Structure 1
Amino acid sequence: MRAHAGIPPSRRRFLALAAGGAVGASSLSGCALRVSTGVSGPGETVTLMVKPDDLSADLLAQAQKDIGIKIATVPYDITKLIAMMTNGNPPDLVRGVGATDTPYFAARDVMEELDPYFARSGVLDVADLDPVNDLWRYDGRIQGRGPRYGMAKDYSQDSMFWYNTALFDEAGVGHPPELEPVTYEEWLENAKRLTRRRNGQTTVFGGSYNGVSAPTLLASLAVAAGGGIFNDDFTRVDFTTPPARKALNWYVEYGRTGVGPSILQPDPNGWDGPTYQAGRMAMSNCGYWLGGVINADAELAPHSRLAPAPVFQGGRRVSPCQAGTGLWMPRKARNKDAAWRVFEWFFGEAPAKARAAGGWGIPTLRSLRPLMPAQEPHQRRVLKVQEAELEHFSVIAFTPYATVDSLAAVFNRFAPAAMKGEMSVDTLARRLNSVMNEQLERGKEQVG
């Protein structure tokens, strides 16, 4: 790695982290929080930077009871995270999205390699890890191989979709096959037929298909079309290649038709769950984890089905995970042994078992799969589809040179015009290439 004159490599990587995370360098001088006691053993405090719904108050109390470690939480905020790491006081564990955060942070050398911890763990056996945890691996060039930097707490194959059979029947639309995928073209046609409008307002969305974020969705769609959006070293995007253009065109058409929530027509609830639960959405591509909502609704659950990820005509059958949310340990964390014990507990003991039994995502330990809900006939039907879909899982690697949020901001800036018919898809592709590649070039220079 080459260093800029006068700036030590480690410091430069932090500066690169700040720039790539779209926060000003001035934020690096912010006050840092002291995050742990520095004392080993029972009674120690481990600090996690997480979102409010990651760890409930009951779960925090359970941690102290189960493993004798107090967990303090700091709200997740990338600006604060960078300030804390730069000032030498990082959290002990940090929330992250494996699909996009792993290459970004690992390339900046701020993540602890966890292979030695896994090797001596009596709770987390590498042989028991679901392949989705490969999203948390990065060898310096390619995501999905090399050292492990974190672990997913649960996951879904995010191109799969749920559908409401009652709404299909009302519209006279045939149900998708149970185990064979429909094409993306068929999915969109069905969504058009299922959409209901009254007095200029959408009363029922035919289908929602936005993925976890626009960049990860487009990356997944392009692979399904037989290519990708990145070049081989992830330093550039190219939306003008036939597979990437097919992916872009499909998503623009989805937004143009107004069959589902989009940047033109946001769901007022902010996500699919409440709208689907209210019977106002016929299809939702939230993936298996939405079953946590569906299973709790006795009226909705019997009418809900899970379907395989669609395919493009002539394309590949792939069913990726676009998130893989979990935890990672900063390289300069102060309480690594205690943090690892929390890590083991969260991913392999009581919390993991409760998540698996609730249907909130597929467990990331194979040994926990028998806990997935299968008591009711509709749950067994869902499980049959999900188990068959696991054969088609693959890691779709993401660039280390820009945050997913920064690339999403570029898409959100230009795509509405194309969805309104004010810009051609070819013009949109060129503009995305131009602005995103400027970001990626800066990121490449910063990482070295």
Structure 2
Amino acid sequence: MSTLPTSLDRRRFLAVSAGAALGASALSACAASVDNGGGSGGKASGGGKTTLTVMTNEGELGTKEVIAYAEQTLGAKISVLTYDATKLNAMLASKNPPDLVRGSGALDTPYFAARGLMADLDPYFAKSSVLKVSDLDPVNDLWRFDGKKQGAGPRYGLAKDFSQDAMFWYRTDMLDAANLDHPSATEPLSYDEWLDMGKRLAKRRLGKVKVYGMNAGGGGFQMFQGMTASAGGSLFAEDLASVDFSSPEALKALRWYMEYAKADIGPSPVNPNPDGWDWPTFQANRMAMACDGYWLGGSIGADAKLAKASRFAPAPQLGSHRISPCFAATGYWIPKDARNKDVAWKLFEWYMGGKPAKDRAGSGWGIPVLKSMRSMMPQSTPFQKQSFEVQQQELSHLQVMSMTPYVQSTALDAVINKLLPGAVKSGTSAGKVADALNKQMNAAIAQGKELVG
């Protein structure tokens, strides 16, 4: 496969952006709506302080602590934009991007890096005494892209913390009531064993699920990618230009998930969780097993009664190739056209390696991305000790899985969400579903590849 181009002109970028139905005029209007008067992080009129524009979520780079640090140490103001994919695409296309952007290393890196929209941060890492490459957890390889695949090449960002997202939490009280053995803390269950447990743990009333037996992970593309890898296969072709759900390994994953969805023992695209995510359901005693990584322990640990009954377990496996993937590696990156890269890096460096990073490490809400901070993870209670020990031994099974650079992952998830509900309800065979997934996903990937060049 030839190396992807390092830049993309405005017309072609607009054509390949997520939600490509947006026209250039709509994007331009959107870009204008986010102008804060000083451009994207430029000097304020009259020679005032530098303004750093950060696109982030509530509670991260827009907190009082961050704003105070920027003001007092960097001499900069912070202008916060709530993360919005459409708005981001518009700003990137108009070459007026934020100075720092929240994103997912697992999903965003190949798409944006292939289009020359991300700044190469290797020169900054080389000079940093805070963020040393030798101290970075391997999960940060999801923020690297060499022009062909993830895991090698320049670093374009860094995770703020992470989890191995196929690992699951379980309620000992519910398993005990069902006379089920507790999962091993070191040896993973097979997906079939896990599904059997979920069926036995589910409770119904008047034909409707009262207590979910499990949440198997949402049914997104990455979940299928991880299951297929565990079975010894790959959803993507070697050049990442096509998918194949018809391979024996991918079909095994698809059949398993369709059986789970048909059994109606947990949330899926066929019957989504009304709560929107697992925590409210798990806390309310309406879910016995939740496929969420280490990060959910931050919530569980804050509820003493629930923590006493909750345990953490390794990621289930579909085959003999043990893998425990990270589906997000959420962090930050600096756009190539950002106007204040040096100041943005200083904020990035402090947030990723300074006091905020140490505070996150001790919170139980994620695994630190700096190996030197691993000992800061909470271990003072029996619940924290158990989850810490399980997580530590799971780290050796992390494996970076490459996402295609030709289309955003949301487009692939949309195909699954469109096809799966009707297929499960009608009893369509997994083989026919695989054919339909291949046809629609590969058409989207081919269009993106043509536009990239």
Which bin holds the TM-score, normalised by the shorter protein?
A: over 0.9
Q: State the match for 1:152 in structure 2.
A: 159
Q: State the match for 1:10 in structure 2.
A: 9
Tell me whether 1:89 sits opposite 2:88 in the alignment. no
Structure 1 residue 171, shift from structure 2 partner: 1.2
Task: Determine if contact 1:319/1:393 at 8 Å carries over to the other structure.
Answer: yes
Q: Distance in 1 between matches of 2:287 and 2:155?
A: 38
Task: Determine if contact 1:155/1:323 at 8 Å carries over to the other structure.
Answer: yes
Q: Distance in 2 between matches of 1:173 and 1:9?
A: 55
Structure 1 residue 142, shift from structure 2 partner: 1.2
AA of the residue aligned to 2:222: T
Identity %: 50
Q: Distance in 2 between matches of 1:139 and 1:279?
A: 46
Q: State the match for 2:70 in structure 1.
A: 64
1:278-297 aligned at under 5 Å gives the runs: 278-297=284-303
Task: Determine if contact 1:13/1:109 at 8 Å carries over to the other structure.
Answer: no
Structure 1 length-normalised TM: 0.94
Q: Which among 298, 308, 311 is matched to residue 304 of structure 2?
A: 298
Q: State the match for 2:397 in structure 1.
A: 392
Q: Distance in 1 between matches of 2:23 and 2:48?
A: 39
Any gaps of 5 or more consecutive residues in structure 2? none
Q: Distance in 2 between matches of 1:125 and 1:249?
A: 44
Structure 1 residue 16, shift from structure 2 partner: 4.0
Structure 1 residue 303, shift from structure 2 partner: 1.2
3-state SS, counterpart of residue 362 of structure 1: coil
AA of the residue aligned to 1:260: G
Structure 1 residue 20, shift from structure 2 partner: 6.4
Q: Distance in 1 between matches of 2:118 and 2:452?
A: 14
Task: Determine if contact 1:45/1:72 at 8 Å carries over to the other structure.
Answer: yes
Q: State the match for 2:117 in structure 1.
A: 110
Task: Determine if contact 1:135/1:144 at 8 Å carries over to the other structure.
Answer: yes
Any gaps of 5 or more consecutive residues in structure 1? none
Q: Distance in 1 between matches of 2:402 and 2:178?
A: 39
Q: Distance in 2 between matches of 1:110 and 1:368?
A: 31
Q: State the match for 2:247 in structure 1.
A: 241
Tell me whether 1:370 sits opposite 2:375 in the alignment. yes
Q: State the match for 1:24 in structure 2.
A: 23
AA of the residue aligned to 2:371: R
Count how many residue pairs are aligned between Structure 1 and Structure 2.
Answer: 442
Task: Determine if contact 2:4/2:452 at 8 Å carries over to the other structure.
Answer: no
Q: Which among 194, 198, 211 is matched to residue 204 of structure 1?
A: 211
AA of the residue aligned to 2:24: A
Root mean square deviation, CA, Å: 2.1
3-state SS, counterpart of residue 435 of structure 1: helix
Cα shift readout 1:310-331 (whole Å, capped 9, x = no counterpart) = 112x431000100001111110
Q: Which among 163, 167, 183 is matched to residue 176 of structure 1?
A: 183
AA of the residue aligned to 2:353: G
Q: State the match for 1:342 in structure 2.
A: 347
Task: Determine if contact 1:38/1:335 at 8 Å carries over to the other structure.
Answer: no
Structure 1 residue 62, shift from structure 2 partner: 4.1
Task: Determine if contact 2:415/2:441 at 8 Å carries over to the other structure.
Answer: yes
Structure 1 residue 44, shift from structure 2 partner: 2.7
Tell me whether 1:165 sits opposite 2:172 in the alignment. yes
Q: Distance in 1 between matches of 2:367 and 2:244?
A: 33
Cα shift readout 1:139-188 (whole Å, capped 9, x = no counterpart) = 01011111100001111101110101011011111111111001000000
CA separation of 1:62/1:257 partners in 2, compared to 1, >3 Å: closer, same or farther? farther
Q: Distance in 1 between matches of 2:172 and 2:93?
A: 52
Structure 1 residue 203, shift from structure 2 partner: 1.6
- Identify which range, 18-27 or 284-293, moves more after superposition: 18-27
Structure 1 residue 38, shift from structure 2 partner: 3.3
Structure 2 length-normalised TM: 0.93
Task: Determine if contact 1:84/1:91 at 8 Å carries over to the other structure.
Answer: yes
AA of the residue aligned to 1:75: T
Structure 1 residue 242, shift from structure 2 partner: 0.3
Structure 1 residue 201, shift from structure 2 partner: 2.4
Q: Which runs of 4+ in 1 moved over 4 A?
A: 1-4, 19-22
Q: Distance in 2 between matches of 1:419 and 1:62?
A: 52
AA of the residue aligned to 1:11: R
Task: Determine if contact 1:306/1:382 at 8 Å carries over to the other structure.
Answer: yes
1:254-269 aligned at under 5 Å gives the runs: 254-269=260-275
